[in-house]
Every structure is written in structure tokens, then in C-alpha cells.
């Protein structure tokens, strides 16, 4: 049946065809449609819903009054215990999302019925050189194709109807520790993709590919390379003057691993850049310097990638303050003038409002408590005032490297002028060792002294405990309209809706809805596993739905799972969908241990071997298996069976479980070192058992 276009538009406006059913079939998701995504309330067409990435759904069937009737419609258990961070894309009642290892799912949104899956067969050995789990934050959709960045650095175009790959291109040098965890974005026929790897040693860049052919159109590096090879642009030549020493040998860093936003009005692409390598300024660039364009927000021409302006959020970063957090565009009335702004709630604890036409600083205001690295901000230049001693160690750095706000999406309700975000306070001793640093890109490569890593747990115990909040931030008045103290420090991405609602999940597995006017909690749901991903909302055949990826992971091994214990709920991942009147019951796949560990073997050891084992464990095992051998999303080694202990050499030195994501460490460890690690793990099991008897 072919409906006349004017009738289709009228019916769609009335919501009579549900998710604008007929007209969407007739209209591909092209530039015009993406530019009008805000009015397309039935669908969630891009990562941040619109080009502005405001994550504000105009739907209001689920609202502050009706939310008590919100219930589960369906859930789908996923065969993974790793982190899930994706924002689903929804078009015409079809939901597209990604799981760990960059696996893609297409499903019927109202029922959860699977339409197809696509597994890009990511090389599992990449797990060793990703900082924060084998996650993926989602897809882009354009003219019938989905675009996927894979953990091993490929960009793949997938036919949205069939799930078949159309083209594939490698966006990185596979010999380098690059990874992709971020969602691609689309800008007038180009697919934009960044990369990650500054905890290992890479040179960051953003690439733009022709959406149709997969041909590389431009690539813009974020930091200068080897001057002897010549600079790719005047901007990089200028940036090189802010570096010292042979910084290019370790890669420099600055990868754009998360925020990339297209602004069709100004035809600019904005992206945030990551930290440098090493973390510590004195090792990375002996003698100092701002190290452009690390920890910066950059604006480039969409068609060419040429740098138009830059704002360095954290000059000469020394604290892992990536500036990769979400970039949110809005027009704000500031001092009687409408300003086109880009906003970021930085890892460094300040909320930034920048004029996006020229990169001019408007304001930077602390949104989290206890900032120690800076004493304030130059209100004209926007340059932070670094605290004495903050650039040399050991220094009690706050925010800690997890950040006052990380990649977790925030949302903006334009009717209230409020930005909603999960904020966090936390501190850690950062140790900037004096002297020379030998970069090793095959491992965590921050410049830390391995002996210091062994003391991390003790040092953390001396620091104030981390705290979490949901904050409604007024970027014009530069203050919080309200704050909700959360029972955990780690909370996930945020959705705001015209139903006067803010929705957010947490590490303890709870999904909660708050009234956006005052932060009153109206509804909550136990999702069974910790939540990091943001909910999305859409409408199918007249009914409003909410969908959310549930799965805990990320940097949990470092900063959360081991130390926060019961406040973080690891488990199997799942997809949940809610609507008013939903009555489905959640039956989570059981995961984890209920009894304290019992060491499966006895191992004679010495105090010296045990101490060495602890240091080796923190260096090689803790990034996935958790600080102190208390694990989250991957197996808890304290519960290893006698069989596993017997196979340890073949697993760790021989790579017997490579296909399951357990990397090979034959180049770093040997039989004697492995015995020391084993002794340490057994001692940790014994300690947990003794603790449980008290
Ligand atoms: Ca980082």
C-alpha cells in the first residue's frame, strides 16, 4: 500500500502510525533526516539521538505520573560477563545494538525477537592492550547501512536489513596497541572514527571514510609525530613547540576514543582527545610544556579534517585527565546573548562551557567536591591554576584517574536548561617517578614504578572513599539545581525525557527514574547486573518504550570491583525493554560465588616470593582479574580449581585460553614468576576465608 506523502506526514505527526511507520520506510536515514532527528520522536537515530547529542526524548507517555506503571516487557540474556556500554539505535521498531567483543544484534524492539547477529570475530588477544574491558559503545546508521568500529581497529559497514558486511577497512596499524571502543559518527556522507590506546602508547587520530565506498577521505592526528619526518599540518608544527624530548617514540597519546560530534550548522566536527603517554608530564616531555593537543577539545572542518580551533582542557596533563567525555551542543542564553556552546563535564572535575563558533572559553566550574590538582581557573583564558606539587609525586590526586565524570553519556533538558550527569568524587596517590622511563607498548605503560603498584591498595585505603552523585547542572548559572547522593560511586549514562524524567543505572544493578525538576526518585528496577550504559526511548505503533544494555565491566579491575566489593554487581549481560503495563519477570543467569574461596592447592612459598607475586599480579593480572585478586567480570582466580592450577603454565605461558580472551604472557612471565603469582592468589583466597570466619 502506498500512502500519499502528505497523509503520511499528517498521520505521523499524530502518532497514528506508531513510529512514523510508513514515512520512515519511504525516507532513508540521510543527512536531511539526521538534521531533523529531534522532531523524529519515535526513533533514536544516532548515538546521542541528535547531532547535538542531548539525549533528550520528546516522548511523554512514560512520565512522572505514569512511571509507577512502568514494567519489563522483555529481557534477553547475553552470553557475556564483560562490560556493556552501547547506546542502541532504533529505527522503525528495529533495535540495533552492540555487545562485548564488538558483536552486533538486530532485534524487533517491542518483542526482543532476534532478527540477525553479526560477529566480526575480533582477535581475542587484543584484550591485553585495552585499558578498560572489551567494550563497544555502539553503531552509526546511514542510508541503510550500520557502521561498527571493532576492538581490533576495523571499521565495518553492515547492511542494516540483512546483517551482512558490505565493506571493511583497517583503521589502525595492527602492530600498535590501538583499539576502538567508541561509536562511529556520520557527517555528510563521511563516517568518523577515532581510537584508544594512550595507556599503552599510540599516536591519536580521527579518520573520516566515505560511507558508501569505505575509502579514507581524511585523517587528523591529535599530537605531533617525529619532527624528522615532517609535520602533517601547520597546526601540528605549532603543537610540537609545546613538547620536549623524544615524545614521539612512545606515540605521544591523545587518542579520540569517545566524543566525536558533528555540527551541521557550522560544518564543524568536535572531538575530545585523551591523555598523554606516559601519564606523567616529566617522563613524557622532560622540562614540561602544555603538550598540545592532549586533553583538548578540537574543532575541525567536516570535509577536510583541518583544525579550526582548539581548547586545551588540562594543559600539560599529569593525572590521566582525558578530555574525551561526551560533548553536548546547545544554544544557551548567557549574559543576555544567545551563545552556541559545546559543553563537557570533564574528568578533571570542572564543567566547561565553550563557544563552539570559535573555541572561546566561557566558563569552567567545579561540579565535584575535593579537587586537589587545581586551585581554580583563570576566568578569562580558561587556563586552570595548577596546585603546588600536583605535577610531581607522590600526590593525592583528586579526581582520580577514573575521573569526576568519564565516558558515561549525559543528557540535556532544553526546557529546563539542565544537564544531567553521573558525577563522582575519588582520590588516589599518583606517583610520578623521577628519571628516565622505558616505554613498553605491550603492557600498561603509564610510567608508574611497578613497586608502587603493589602499594596501591594500601594507599587507596588512606584516601577519602569515592562517592557518587546524580547532578542536575545549570550551565548558565554555573551551579547544581539539585544533587542526589547515590549509594555507589559508579553510575551509568543518563537519559532525560519530556515526561519530566531522568533515568540512570548504577554499578549495583539498579535502574532508577528521578523527577527532572527536583531529583525526587520515582521508580527503580533491579537489573541483576551492574549498569554502565544509558537508556534510550522510542515509540513503536503508538507505544513508548525504554531499552537499556545491562553489563558491568570497564575499568572495574583497577578502581572498582576489588575495592567496592558488594557495591558493584558483576554478572551476565542482558538487554532490557520497558513500557507502561509491562509484566515480564527478570530471571538473571546466576553468576559469581556465594561462599568464601577455599584454596584448591597448597603451595610452599617464602615471604619474598609472596611479595614478588603480589607485585607481578598487580602488574599483569589486576587489570582484568581485579586488584587484590578480587575479580568482577572475569573469573575470580581465588576460586581456581586444582585442575586450573595444574594447567596454569599452559594457560598463561602457552596461551591455551586465548580464544576465550585470556591473553598470552609468555613474553613477560616464566615458570618461577608464575609460581609467585600463584602463591599470592592462594594467599588472597586464604585471607578472604579468614575474614569470613571473624
Ligand atoms: Ca586515560
List, for residues 291-312, the tens digit of each pLDDT value.
Answer: 999 999 999 999 999 999 999 9
Per DSSP, 617 falls in state I
Task: For 511-571, give the secondary structure using H, E and C.
Answer: EEEEECCCCCEEEEEECCCCCCCCCEEEEECCEEEEEEEECCCCCHHHHCHHHHHHHCCCC
pLDDT higher than threshold 80 for residue 25: no
- Quote the pLDDT of residue 567: 82
Do 493 and 422 meet the contact criterion of CB atoms below 8 Å apart? yes
Centroid of ligand 1 to alpha carbon of 362 (angstroms): 26
**pLDDT digits over 204-258, tens only?**
999 999 999 999 999 999 999 999 999 999 999 999 999 999 999 999 999 999 9
- Quote the pLDDT of residue 456: 59
Distances (CA, A) of 577 to 58, 179, 561, 583: 18, 30, 27, 11
Higher pLDDT, 106 or 617: 106
- Quote the pLDDT of residue 24: 44
State the pLDDT confidence band at 446, using cuts at 50, 70 and 90: confident
- Quote the pLDDT of residue 555: 61
Query: What is the rounded distance in angstroms from the CA atom of residue 200 to the CA atom of residue 440?
Result: 7
- Quote the pLDDT of residue 586: 97
- Quote the pLDDT of residue 21: 45
Centroid of ligand 1 to alpha carbon of 449 (angstroms): 17
pTM: 0.94
State the pLDDT confidence band at 1, using cuts at 50, 70 and 90: very low
User: Domain limits of the chain?
Assistant: 607-692
Per DSSP, 650 falls in state I
Average pLDDT of 667-688? 94
Centroid of ligand 1 to alpha carbon of 469 (angstroms): 22
Centroid of ligand 1 to alpha carbon of 347 (angstroms): 10
Centroid of ligand 1 to alpha carbon of 185 (angstroms): 21
- Joined together, the cell numbers standing for residue 488 give 555507589
Q: Can you say how many angstroms the Cα of residue 302 is from the centroid of all Cα atoms in its chain? A: 24
- Joined together, the cell numbers standing for residue 636 give 575470580
Angle between helices 671-693 and 607-616 (to 10 degrees): 100
- Quote the pLDDT of residue 342: 98
- Quote the pLDDT of residue 561: 41
- Quote the pLDDT of residue 26: 55
- How high is the mean pLDDT of the chain? 92
- Quote the pLDDT of residue 92: 96
Do 523 and 529 meet the contact criterion of CB atoms below 8 Å apart? no
pLDDT higher than threshold 90 for residue 403: yes
- Quote the pLDDT of residue 487: 94
Beta bridge partners of 633: none
Average pLDDT of 460-480? 89
Average pLDDT of 31-52? 97
- Quote the pLDDT of residue 444: 85
State the pLDDT confidence band at 622, using cuts at 50, 70 and 90: confident
Per DSSP, 132 falls in state S
- Residue 569: asked if its preceding bond is cis (omega within 30°), the reply is no
Centroid of ligand 1 to alpha carbon of 274 (angstroms): 6
State the pLDDT confidence band at 451, using cuts at 50, 70 and 90: low
Is residue 438 annotated as part of the catalytic site, yes or no? no
- Quote the pLDDT of residue 245: 95
Centroid of ligand 1 to alpha carbon of 154 (angstroms): 21
Strand order in the sheet with 114-118: 89-91, 94-98, 104-108, 114-118
Q: Look at the alpha carbons of 558, 559, 565, 567 in this order and tell me if their dihedral is positive or negative.
A: negative
Strand order in the sheet with 185-187: 185-187, 190-193, 205-210, 216-221
- Joined together, the cell numbers standing for residue 166 give 558490505
Helix (H, G, I), strand (E, B) or coil at 249: helix
Query: What is the rounded distance in angstroms from the CA atom of residue 683 to the CA atom of residue 513?
Result: 43
Centroid of ligand 1 to alpha carbon of 414 (angstroms): 31
Query: What is the rounded distance in angstroms from the CA atom of residue 416 to the CA atom of residue 20?
Result: 27
% of the chain residues with pLDDT over 70: 92
Question: Which is nearest to 507 in space by CA: 475, 536, 523, 530?
Answer: 530
- Per the listing, cell 499528517 goes with 10
Do 286 and 280 meet the contact criterion of CB atoms below 8 Å apart? no
Higher pLDDT, 537 or 394: 537
Instruction: Find the range with the poorest average confidence among 162-176, 199-213, 269-283, 585-599.
Output: 585-599
Higher pLDDT, 315 or 604: 315
Query: What is the rounded distance in angstroms from the CA atom of residue 548 to the CA atom of residue 533?
Result: 7
Higher pLDDT, 395 or 547: 547
- Joined together, the cell numbers standing for residue 232 give 602533517
% of the chain residues with pLDDT over 90: 80
Strand order in the sheet with 140-142: 140-142, 145-149, 154-159, 165-170
- Residue 278: asked if its preceding bond is cis (omega within 30°), the reply is yes
State the pLDDT confidence band at 527, using cuts at 50, 70 and 90: very high
State the pLDDT confidence band at 464, using cuts at 50, 70 and 90: confident
State the pLDDT confidence band at 629, using cuts at 50, 70 and 90: confident
- Quote the pLDDT of residue 693: 86
* Ramachandran class of 567: left when φ > 0, alpha when ψ lies in -120 to 50, beta otherwise: alpha
Query: What is the rounded distance in angstroms from the CA atom of residue 690 to the CA atom of residue 693?
Result: 5
- Quote the pLDDT of residue 615: 86
**pLDDT digits over 333-391, tens only?**
999 999 999 999 999 999 999 999 999 999 999 999 999 999 999 999 999 999 999 98
Do 157 and 110 meet the contact criterion of CB atoms below 8 Å apart? no
Which of the following is catalytic: 133, 290, 320, 508? 320
- Quote the pLDDT of residue 450: 54
Burial 275-296 (b: 16+ CB within 10 A, else e): bbbbbbbbbbbbebbbbbbbbb
Query: What is the rounded distance in angstroms from the CA atom of residue 469 to the CA atom of residue 452?
Result: 30
Average pLDDT of 65-92? 97
- Quote the pLDDT of residue 428: 82
Question: Which is nearest to 226 in space by CA: 200, 203, 197, 257?
Answer: 203
Query: What is the rounded distance in angstroms from the CA atom of residue 185 to the CA atom of residue 264?
Result: 13
Do 341 and 355 meet the contact criterion of CB atoms below 8 Å apart? yes
State the pLDDT confidence band at 437, using cuts at 50, 70 and 90: confident
Question: Which is nearest to 548 in space by CA: 567, 517, 526, 566?
Answer: 526
Cα of first residue to Cα of last residue in the chain, in angstroms, is: 73
State the pLDDT confidence band at 458, using cuts at 50, 70 and 90: low
pLDDT higher than threshold 80 for residue 566: no
Average pLDDT of 564-571? 74
Higher pLDDT, 570 or 346: 346
Residue 61 phi, psi dihedral angles, 5° rounding: -65, -45
Do 466 and 426 meet the contact criterion of CB atoms below 8 Å apart? yes
Assign domain 607-692 to its CATH architecture: Orthogonal Bundle (1.10)
Q: Parallel, antiparallel, or unpaired: how do β-strands 268-272 and 260-263 relate?
A: antiparallel
Q: Parallel, antiparallel, or unpaired: how do β-strands 94-98 and 104-108 relate?
A: antiparallel
Amino acid at each position: 500500500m502506498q500512502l500519499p506523502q502528505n497523509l503520511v506526514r499528517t498521520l505521523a505527526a499524530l502518532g497514528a502510525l506508531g513510529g512514523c511507520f510508513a514515512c520512515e520506510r519511504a525516507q532513508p536515514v540521510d543527512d536531511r533526516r539526521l538534521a531533523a532527528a529531534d522532531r523524529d520522536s519515535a526513533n533514536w537515530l544516532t548515538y546521542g539521538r541528535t547531532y547535538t547529542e542531548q539525549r533528550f526524548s520528546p516522548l511523554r507517555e512514560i512520565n512522572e505520573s505514569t512511571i509507577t506503571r512502568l514494567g519489563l516487557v522483555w529481557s534477553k540474556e547475553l552470553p557475556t560477563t564483560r562490560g556493556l556500554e552501547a547506546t542502541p539505535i532504533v529505527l522503525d521498531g528495529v533495535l540495533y545494538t552492540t555487545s562485548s567483543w564488538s558483536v552486533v544484534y538486530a532485534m524487533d524492539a517491542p518483542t526482543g525477537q532476534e532478527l540477525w547477529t553479526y560477529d566480526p570475530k575480533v582477535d581475542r588477544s587484543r584484550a591485553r592492550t585495552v585499558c578498560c574491558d572489551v567494550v563497544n559503545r555502539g553503531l552509526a546508521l546511514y542510508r541503510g547501512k550500520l557502521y561498527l568500529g571493532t576492538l581490533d581497529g576495523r571499521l565495518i559497514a553492515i547492511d542494516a536489513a540483512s546483517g551482512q558486511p558490505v565493506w571493511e577497512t583497517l583503521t589502525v596499524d595492527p602492530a600498535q596497541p590501538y583499539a576502538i571502543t567508541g561509536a562511529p559518527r556520520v557527517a555528510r556522507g563521511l563516517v568518523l572514527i577515532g581510537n584508544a590506546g594512550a595507556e599503552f602508547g599510540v599516536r591519536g587520530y580521527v579518520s573520516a571514510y566515505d560511507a558508501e565506498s569505505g575509502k579514507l577521505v581524511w585523517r587528523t592526528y591529535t599530537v605531533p609525530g617525529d619532527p624528522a619526518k615532517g609535520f602533517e599540518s601547520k597546526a601540528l608544527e605549532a603543537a610540537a613547540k609545546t613538547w620536549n624530548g623524544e615524545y614521539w617514540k612512545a606515540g605521544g597519546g591523545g587518542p579520540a576514543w569517545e566524543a566525536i560530534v558533528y555540527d551541521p550548522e557550522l560544518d564543524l566536527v568536535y572531538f575530545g582527545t585523551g591523555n598523554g603517554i606516559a601519564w606523567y608530564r616529566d617522563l613524557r616531555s622532560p622540562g614540561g610544556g602544555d603538550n598540545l593537543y592532549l586533553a583538548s577539545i578540537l574543532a575541525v572542518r567536516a570535509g577536510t579534517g583541518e583544525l579550526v580551533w582548539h581548547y586545551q582542557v588540562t594543559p600539560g596533563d599529569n593525572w590521566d585527565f582525558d578530555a574525551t567525555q561526551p560533548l553536548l551542543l546547545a544554544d544557551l542564553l548567557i549574559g543576555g546573548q544567545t551563545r552556541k556552546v559545546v559543553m563537557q563535564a570533564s574528568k578533571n572535575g570542572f564543567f566547561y562551557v565553550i563557544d563552539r563558533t570559535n573555541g572561546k572559553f566561557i566558563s569552567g566550574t567545579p561540579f565535584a567536591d575535593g579537587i586537589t590538582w587545581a586551585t581554580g581557573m583563570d576566568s578569562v583564558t580558561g587556563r586552570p591554576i595548577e596546585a603546588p606539587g600536583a605535577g610531581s609525586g607522590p600526590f593525592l590526586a583528586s579526581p582520580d584517574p577514573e575521573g569526576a565524570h568519564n565516558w558515561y553519556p549525559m543528557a540535556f533538558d532544553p526546557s529546563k536548561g539542565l544537564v544531567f550527569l553521573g558525577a563522582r568524587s575519588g582520590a588516589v596517590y599518583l606517583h610520578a617517578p623521577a628519571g628516565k622511563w622505558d616505554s613498553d607498548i605491550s603492557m600498561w605503560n603509564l610510567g608508574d614504578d611497578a613497586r608502587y603498584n603493589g602499594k596501591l591498595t594500601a594507599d587507596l585505603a588512606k584516601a577519602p572513599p569515592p562517592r557518587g552523585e546524580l547532578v542536575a547542572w545549570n550551565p548558565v548559572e554555573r551551579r547544581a539545581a539539585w544533587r542526589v547522593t547515590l549509594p555507589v560511586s559508579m553510575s551509568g549514562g543518563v537519559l532525560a525525557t519530556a515526561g519530566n524524567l531522568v533515568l540512570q543505572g548504577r554499578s549495583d544493578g539498579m535502574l532508577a527514574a528521578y523527577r527532572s525538576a527536583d531529583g525526587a526518585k520515582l521508580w527503580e528496577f533491579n537489573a541483576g547486573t551492574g549498569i554502565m550504559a544509558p537508556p534510550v526511548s522510542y515509540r513503536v505503533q503508538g507505544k513508548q518504550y525504554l531499552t537499556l544494555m545491562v553489563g558491568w565491566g570497564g575499568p572495574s579491575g583497577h578502581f572498582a570491583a576489588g575495592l567496592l566489593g558488594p557495591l558493584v554487581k558483576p554478572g551476565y549481560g542482558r538487554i532490557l525493554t520497558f513500557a507502561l503495563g509491562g509484566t515480564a519477570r527478570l530471571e538473571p543467569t546466576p553468576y559469581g560465588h556465594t561462599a568464601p574461596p577455599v584454596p584448591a592447592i597448597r603451595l610452599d612459598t617464602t615471604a619474598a616470593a609472596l611479595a614478588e607475586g603480589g607485585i607481578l599480579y598487580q602488574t599483569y593480572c589486576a587489570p582484568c582479574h581485579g586488584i587484590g585478586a578480587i575479580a568482577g567480570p572475569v573469573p575470580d582466580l581465588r576460586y581456581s580449581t586444582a585442575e586450573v592450577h595444574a594447567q596454569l603454565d599452559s594457560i598463561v605461558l602457552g596461551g591455551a585460553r586465548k580464544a576465550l580472551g585470556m591473553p598470552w604472557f609468555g613474553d613477560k612471565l616464566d615458570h618461577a614468576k608464575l609460581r609467585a603469582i600463584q602463591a599470592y592468589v592462594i594467599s588472597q583466597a586464604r585471607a578472604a576465608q579468614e575474614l569470613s570466619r571473624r
